[in-house]
Homo-oligomer: A and B are copies of this chain.
Amino acid sequence: MQEKISSQIALPVEIDLQSYPLFRQCEGVFVSALQEAARERRFEKGQVVFLHGDGVECFYIIRHGWVKLYRETLDGTQAVVDIFTTGHMFGETAIFEDGMYPYSAEAVEDVQVIALPIDLLKNEIKANNKLALDMLCSMARYRRRQDREIEHRSLQNASQRIGCFLLRLLNQSEDGAAHIHLPYDKMLVASRLGMQPETFSRALSRLRDKTGIRIKGSTVEIDSPSQLTDYSCMACSSEYPCKDILSGK
């Protein structure tokens, strides 16, 4: 399934970097240098953006589409680290690694990204304290997310994890919209939540029976979100109900 194709389009691109939280406070010189170096690249579904261990030159901002970050064990099992979409940045933490990406990245569907040279970021962080602070905040946010992830994996059962996942999608859509659309196919949701597709299917049915949600294909209708939190957040140590940490980009 993984193909590495080097014939991606890499064109200069117009982009308002200062609309991204990390660069909001940055000075014009740095931002214009970044903007000048920015290149648009497109990847088709299944294409690999970079592989774990590749030498690092760029970090990426997603303009459109979905990308999954994953790692592989010696025996070939794939562990999905995370799945990102529009507005999210990835690969930037390689600054603190020894020049290698800490995971692989693959387009989950056709995706359009901005590639930015990581050296520029690295140097600016060294020189610009505000950027360093923003980066610290962003890493702290990520850290909270990871902490919660670890907890969820050990304390929540499959149905509760799905419920929690749905609740976070609810939070992201401004209003508490009563029906939400799964962002990508169920197999991928399953791997994001660390379970098998079969388990996902069964766990989702169980969740339906317990919380009165309705499922039509990849759409989920939720009449009473509180019933969902009651069930899902029971085994979670976060504040009740769970505040969305995911949305931080």
Contacts and interface: CB of A to CB of B under 8 A. Distances in A.
B97 A234 contact: no
Interface stretch (A5-13, A126-134, A217-225): A126-134
Interface in A170-218: 194
Contacts of A103: 147
A102 interface: yes
A154 B194 contact: yes
Interface string A133-161: 10111011111101101110111000000
Given A151-B79, A235-B75, A140 B143 contact: no
A102 B136 contact: no
Interface string A62-104: 0000000001111101010100000000000101110000110
Contact of A150 (B128, B137, B150): B150
A77 B127 CA distance: 45
B237 A72 contact: yes
A154 to B, nearest CB: 5
Given A125-B136, A129-B132, A136-B139, A234 B150 contact: no
B75 A143 contact: no
B74 A240 contact: yes
Contacts of A51: none
Contacts of A154: 79, 153, 194
Place the interface of chain A in its size category: 35 or more
B73 A237 contact: yes
A22 interface: no
A147 B146 contact: yes
Given A129-B129, A132-B132, A132-B133, A77 B143 contact: no
A37 interface: no
A236 interface: yes
A237 B127 CA distance: 34
A141 B140 CA distance: 12
B151 A153 contact: no
Given A73-B236, A75-B235, A81 B153 contact: no
Interface of A: 52, 71-75, 77, 79, 81, 93, 95-97, 102-103, 125-129, 132-133, 135-137, 139-144, 146-147, 149-151, 153-155, 194, 233-237, 240
10 nearest A-B pairs in the assembled complex, by CB-CB distance: A96-B140, A71-B237, A132-B132, A146-B146, A129-B129, A73-B237, A139-B139, A154-B194, A79-B151, A73-B235
